[in-house]
Chain A
Amino acid sequence: MNSMPLTDANVDLDLLRRMRAGEAQALASLYQRHQAPLYRFALLRSGSPDTAADVVQDVFMALIEGKLNFDPLRGGLSSFLYGVARNFMLKRAEGERRYLPLQVHASDEDDDECDITDCAITPLEKILMNERAESVRAALAKIAPHYRDVLILYEIQDLSYVEIANICHIDIGTVRSRLSRARVKCAALLTLMNDADGDERLANTSTER
């Protein structure tokens, strides 16, 4: 008799069960399955490798301490962990915002301005050597977090609308609309940055002359 292959969701559930029973290898497997996508999401969202590493650590610490209420009926573990990571980043951002009393808070859907704090984040030159990729990362960093979330999760992490809706606690229609607006913003920023680069190169050329 052929044994039925385990789906990803079942593999995660089995690993979770074994981890809760005290099996360290199960935790190691869970970590290896989920750490990289979580880290990439946290890295692109926060723009900081240190913050991204802290977020991944916080997520797994919460998991082993039994602080998370994962319900497999509401979605896969992967989506759940993305949501937890996002919540941790929101809390961090909230904590940092307390020290910026003059920051202007725009409304959720009408925020066309770039996030000023994220514009100041150090670029990831060491990680993103490709110039074009660095431009996209820089553009992502300049758009508002609620647009950035859906754009990263859909375009980079390759999640579905339903998964993004669960992670961000919004409905699918909002996912679609945010994604559409986020693309427009990102494209506009990339064009702007390319033009600025062109102007800068032109200016440098003129100065050299």
Chain B
Amino acid sequence: MMMNKGNDHPDLQVAFQQLRDAMKDTATPTKVEQNIMRAFSLQLSMQQSGQQKSLSQPSKAWLGLGQWLAPGAAIAASVVMTAWLMLGGAAMGVKNATIQTLENVADAPFIALQSLEQIALEPNPRLIETTVPKMLFASMGMPVSPEMASETVRAEMLVSAAGQPLALRLSRP
């Protein structure tokens, strides 16, 4: 059907109609659609992987936190271990230690003696009850009276399967 858009140039209208007819089946080459659909799929998969990445970021953030804490924990551990050795780690009295399972641990805070990552990765940690000199806690910044520094206190120590100290806390009286 011929469109009649203007009467000023009737020949022109005929010519335009012929051009419209000639081009009515003209369409974009199929490769363009393929390119677009491929790009869309790629973008979609990237978005999905991006979402997965963002979902996994909390654990990464936690690992990042561990990395920040690790040096501090390592320093604290070295201080503790040094003090422990200087004061005679044998006072720990492993012979008298009572081995407990980790599930029985009370909610009192532990002082990390190794990096958090190393503690978390330990496959088979154990909790042992022992006695340690109060001086040991003083070296970790806890208030200890000088007169009582030589006394011992009961403590719970998290150790690795190989017996390496991982963390320490005071036992409940």
Contact = CB atoms under 8 A, between A and B. Distances in A.
Contact of A57 (B5, B35, B41): B35
**For this complex, into which size category does the number of interface residues on chain A fall?**
35 or more
Interface in B1-23: 3, 5-6, 8-9, 11-12, 14-16, 18-23
A11 interface: no
Given A39-B26, A40-B23, A190 B39 contact: no
B162 interface: no
A27 B32 CA distance: 13
Interface in A33-67: 35-36, 38-40, 43-44, 49, 52-53, 56-57, 60-61, 64-65
Contacts of A70: none
B6 to A, nearest CB: 7
Contacts of B23: 40, 43-44, 127-128, 133, 156
Nearest to B42: A64
Please report whether the interface of chain A is mostly helix, strand, loop or mixed according to DSSP. Answer: helix
B160 to A, nearest CB: 48
Please report whether the interface of chain B is mostly helix, strand, loop or mixed according to DSSP. Answer: helix
Given A36-B27, A154-B5, A64 B20 contact: no
Given A155-B5, A183-B8, A61 B16 contact: no
Nearest to A133: B22
A158 interface: yes
Contact of A133 (B5, B18, B35): B18
B28 interface: yes
Interface string A106-145: 0000000000000000000001111011111100000000
Interface residues of B, number: 32
A186 interface: yes
A153 to B, nearest CB: 12
Nearest to B10: A187
Nearest to A180: B8
B147 interface: no
B33 interface: yes
Contact of A31 (B11, B26, B36, B43): B36
Contact of A190 (B15, B20, B28): B15
A134 to B, nearest CB: 8
Interface of B: 3, 5-6, 8-9, 11-12, 14-16, 18-23, 26-29, 31-33, 35-37, 39-41, 43-44, 47
30 contacts: A24-B41, A24-B44, A27-B37, A35-B27, A40-B23, A43-B23, A44-B23, A49-B29, A53-B28, A53-B29, A57-B35, A57-B36, A61-B36, A61-B39, A127-B26, A130-B19, A130-B21, A133-B18, A133-B23, A134-B22, A135-B15, A136-B15, A136-B18, A155-B5, A156-B16, A156-B23, A183-B8, A186-B9, A187-B12, A190-B12
Given A57-B28, A133-B15, 5 more contacts: A24-B37, A64-B43, A133-B23, A134-B22, A190-B15
